[in-house]
Chains A and B, each alone.
Chain A
């Protein structure tokens, strides 16, 4: 960091978990002045109150358009802002859009100082997306297991099968129909609801 003080960074993100992951990463990298805004109402006033050098916002946030107002020269805007757009660095822009994050520099912070911040945000955003994906998959696997257990129960009762036999029947049907076992189990549940 050298003699220069750590730039003030504001994270605008409605997801508290992702913001926490980002904040932690930034602090670990030595950026100590990090704050987080999760409430979108009156966003500009909140940002001005914190008076940051860098603003980081997720691309799924409709309030990105609100930040665009800070580019404008008007009475309401105290310090000019620029998006991190380095025309010579298309890869960086692409990576940040892919990761779903965007960064704005306030009042002429040097580009070299933003780069490590942006890179860190990109990697943390990607890490969060991976985590979210794993969580979603684990959840759906758990859901599937519950559905399969109930379908097995129905088959055991209706056809007098053992649990293993019921599972084998589900699996062979799924293979024959080129579907997932969870889908076959779900259709058994639906059918049994209808036939009640």
Chain B
């Protein structure tokens, strides 16, 4: 007996574990007959998951949390038993903004504090001469991209709500918008940063791993009620995604994986760009400068697949910091309970995970280490924010 499943995804490289699980036959080996449905917006993925048109989805980690908290939308409890990817985003800026930042920078160009302080000087100079505020594109109000951009610029003294404009742009429109000057910069996942660099219209200023060492990005999301009604199917799906993530991380498989992801009905971009992303070997400027990072996108290594509730707490803290959610112990608990390492451990037959507590796994470049047990205290350390307590 095979179990039919419909799973929604957005064409991004961090859907890799899901796509490979299906196209390499790992789901079939688990007795699952998965239909992957390519979607055009996170709103669609969320709504179709919420109303049951999808059994599971490739979802922005903060959307899973926002949906469980009922923020700005209908409240549907979601659980995330598997991390499809950690990190993987980058901040890309126009050649003009890149030149402005490099002219102001005092320090290492890969040091996010140095670039954030330089950005603050660029913003101040623009204001002085009466120029329009800079516009930054990101993918969704409840997105890692939104929080990562905000975290970075605020550390340099730039208020993301007052000093610049942050606008939502669908990922496929990012590159055009940068080329047309509609935005000066964006934060988005692969492959779009590389596409901008290859077209000669953008410079990758930062990998998100410069800003946060370890950041939950996309999760495999299912409705909590579905997880309770289909525990075995879910365990099978987790195992298939896990096997796919291990397959992807083997360098010898990368070319095959890149070809698989490049298919038009999957991500539909050049296999070469996909491979650069998986290898963490990216061209960061149109004149051909390359940059290597072992942390650009983590799919299966460093236990990337295992959901970490502290990561969920950090994302919730960002919602609080930027006025999207009120701070409360119960909401924190709900947010942390979205990430389910217990389901991951059980599906893979691992011994019950050691209690990992509330310690920092984030590794942010600014501010004190994150403490999920004291979000109010943690947020008080940051000068810029809109939290209402």
Contacts and interface: CB of A to CB of B under 8 A. Distances in A.
A94 B51 contact: yes
A65 interface: yes
A85 B170 contact: no
A64 B141 contact: no
B325 to A, nearest CB: 11
Contact of A65 (B43, B73, B177): B43
Nearest to A67: B43
Contact of B47 (A40, A75, A97): A97
Contact of B140 (A40, A44, A65): A65
A83 B46 CA distance: 13
Interface string A92-103: 011001000010
Interface stretch (A54-62, A166-174, A186-194): A54-62
Contact of B73 (A61, A83, A97): A83
Contacts of A60: 40
B168 interface: yes
B48 interface: yes
Interface string B130-145: 0000000001110000
A162 B172 CA distance: 54
B170 A75 contact: no
A68 B140 contact: yes
Contacts of A67: 43
B373 to A, nearest CB: 28
A63 B170 contact: yes
Given A60-B40, A61-B41, A97-B47, A72 B72 contact: yes
Contact of B170 (A44, A62, A71, A74): A62
B182 interface: yes
A89 B271 CA distance: 44
Given A83-B73, A85-B74, A62 B173 contact: yes
Interface in B28-53: 40-44, 47-48, 51, 53
B168 A66 contact: yes
A40 B74 CA distance: 26
Contacts of A66: 167-170
Interface residues of A, number: 29
Most chain-A CB neighbours within 10 Å: which of B48, B141, B182?
B141
A73 B323 contact: yes
Question: In this complex, which of B139, B170, B323 has the most chain A Cβ atoms within 10 angstroms of its Cβ?
Answer: B170
Contacts of A71: 72-73, 141
A44 B74 CA distance: 22
B161 A75 contact: yes
B53 A97 contact: yes
Interface in A69-119: 69, 71-76, 83, 85, 87, 90, 93-94, 97, 102
Contacts of B259: none
B162 interface: yes
A41 interface: yes
Contacts of A62: 40-41, 170, 172-173
B281 interface: no
Contacts of A87: 74
Interface string B43-83: 11001100101000000000000000000111000000000
A153 B323 CA distance: 72
Given A41-B182, A76-B165, A90-B51, A68 B323 contact: no
B286 to A, nearest CB: 24
30 contacts: A40-B173, A41-B180, A41-B182, A59-B44, A61-B40, A62-B41, A62-B170, A62-B172, A63-B173, A64-B43, A65-B43, A65-B168, A65-B170, A66-B167, A66-B169, A66-B170, A67-B43, A68-B140, A68-B168, A71-B73, A71-B141, A72-B72, A72-B324, A73-B323, A76-B167, A83-B73, A85-B74, A93-B47, A97-B53, A102-B47
Given A41-B182, A42-B182, A64-B41, A74 B161 contact: yes
Contacts of A76: 165, 167
Interface in B120-171: 139-141, 161-162, 165, 167-170
A72 B169 contact: no
Given A62-B173, A97-B48, A97-B53, A68 B141 contact: yes
A79 B173 CA distance: 25
Interface in B164-221: 165, 167-170, 172-173, 177, 180, 182
Contact of B41 (A42, A65, A85, A94): A65
Contacts of B53: 97
Contacts of B73: 71, 83, 85
Nearest to A83: B73
A85 B76 CA distance: 12
Contacts of B51: 90, 93-94, 97
